């Protein structure tokens, strides 16, 4: 729990917010917030979720901070309808290997023949 509360403190400080400001947003006193952040009082999930919501983090994100958790089930929703372009500079032999890996032998022949047209 100490690591999570340390993440809470770091997130608050990175936003340049005082304990008093965050306490006000969480509708609690500054002294209660200070005890929460220090771990001096028993921390419940509701308080952590409240802090996370205010700061734009999920409970899992507070635990894994600074890494953000990405739900594999919903990641497709993010890309649906969006185009993603990857550009990599490679030498010809490496480019052919990558294209062969992605498209297979026959598609590589088509790609190579169409580039000479």
Q: With 0-12 CB in 10 A as exposed, 13-18 as middle and 19+ as buried, what is 74?
A: exposed
Q: Taking the model in full, what pTM does it have?
A: 0.59
Which structural domain range is residue 103 located in?
83-114
Mean pLDDT of the chain: 81
Same domain? 60 vs 87: no
pLDDT of residue 26: 96
Confidence of residue 117 (pLDDT cuts 50, 70, 90): very low
With a cut of 60, say whether residue 78 has pLDDT above it: no
Same domain? 47 vs 87: no
Going by the DSSP 8-state scheme, the letter that residue 67 receives in this structure is S
When pLDDT is averaged across residues 73-95 and rounded to a whole number, the result is 66
The Cβ-side half-sphere exposure at 17, using a 13 Å CA radius, reads 20
Using alpha carbons only, give the angle 79, 83, 88 rounded to the nearest 5 degrees: 110
Q: Where are the beta strands (DSSP E) in the chain?
A: none
Q: Which structure tokens are listed for 3?
A: 């690591």
Give how many domains the chain has, as a whole number. 2
Q: Convert the pLDDT of each residue in 31-43 to its tens digit.
A: 999 999 999 998 8
Assess if residue 41 is contained within a domain: yes
**Do residues 22 and 51 touch, judged by C-beta distance below 8 A?**
yes
């Amino acid at each position: 729990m100490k690591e999570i509360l340390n993440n809470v403190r770091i997130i608050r400080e990175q936003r340049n917010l005082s304990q008093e400001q965050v306490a006000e947003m969480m509708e609690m006193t500054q002294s209660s917030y200070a005890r929460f952040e220090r771990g001096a009082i028993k921390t419940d999930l509701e308080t952590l979720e409240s802090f996370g919501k205010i700061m734009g983090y999920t409970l899992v994100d507070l635990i894994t901070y600074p890494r953000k958790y990405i739900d594999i089930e919903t990641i497709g929703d993010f890309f649906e309808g969006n185009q993603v372009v990857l550009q990599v500079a490679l030498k010809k032999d490496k480019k052919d290997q990558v294209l062969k890996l992605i498209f297979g032998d026959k598609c590589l022949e088509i790609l190579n023949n169409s580039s000479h047209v």
